Amino acid sequence: MKFLGKQAITGMFLSVSICFMAYGNRIALIDGTHSIGAFGNSFSFRFDTEPILNYLPSEKDFQEAGEQVALISMNQDREELTFFMPLAVLKGEKPKRFIHQMNVTKNLPFSVHVEAAKTPMEGLRCKVSFDPKIVGFKIEKFVSPKLEHGFTITFYRRDILDNILSGHHNQTIIRTAYAGQKSDPLKKKYA
């Protein structure tokens, strides 16, 4: 498969996004939260309707090698990813304050920066930057108990995950997981 280039990706992106423009509705960011957990940090964004979340590859993401497209190694100091939410807008002061606070946070092994965009169409651009040697990254969509659609960006601390996966604490985790279960010799459960 040959990489078609920046123009082809932009063309495909615009054609998909223009279909959604026919509705004429904006997708309002109504709330955002930041939480710090034992395994890392997460940023959640909630919208009034289901958001469209497109990954925008940068030119440095790909290198052409004959007929194949290869991803560049993540051995860089920081990995930078850009996502675009067409037709998304900030609604109210609470999400504006959340975005401002998130954008000014510095000196962490990760950052999330959200800004309004006018090109290739109106929407919100979300730039995620992180040090892949220190944190892992995951993004996933969700529907809240209040039926608000959104997505969460999570940064996992690699040192803690590596410690768990190394085997030192596996037996403790397994014992804790099965501590509350009654033993039934006919029904054995395995981890």
pLDDT the model gives residue 66: 42
- Separation in Å, CA 59 to CA 12, 21, 71, 103, 114: 16, 27, 11, 24, 20
Cβ–Cβ under 8 Å, residues 35 and 18: no
Q: What percent of the chain has pLDDT over 90?
A: 38
pLDDT the model gives residue 128: 93
Cα-Cα end-to-end distance for the chain: 40
Q: Which of 102, 59, 104, 57 is nearest to 83 (CA)?
A: 57
Give the 3-state DSSP-derived string for 69-86, with helices as H, strands as E and coil as C: EEECCCCCCCEEEEEEEE
pLDDT at 30 exceeding the cut of 80: yes
Q: Which residue has the higher pLDDT, 178 or 138?
A: 138
Distance CA 187, CA 184 (A): 5
pLDDT the model gives residue 70: 45
pLDDT the model gives residue 188: 46
pLDDT the model gives residue 62: 60
Sign of the alpha-carbon torsion through 18, 19, 24, 26 = negative
pLDDT the model gives residue 190: 43
Q: Which of 94, 97, 112 is nearest to 154 (CA)?
A: 112
The predicted model scores a pTM of 0.68
Per-residue pLDDT band at 184 (split at 50, 70, 90): low
Distance CA 43, CA 112 (A): 9
pLDDT the model gives residue 107: 79
Q: What tokens does 46 get?
A: 């909630």
Q: Which residue has the higher pLDDT, 37 or 172?
A: 37
Task: Give the chain's domains with CATH numbers.
Answer: 26-61+76-178 (2.60.40.3500)
Tens of pLDDT, residue by residue over 55-113, are: 988 766 665 444 444 444 444 578 899 999 999 998 889 999 999 998 888 878 999 99
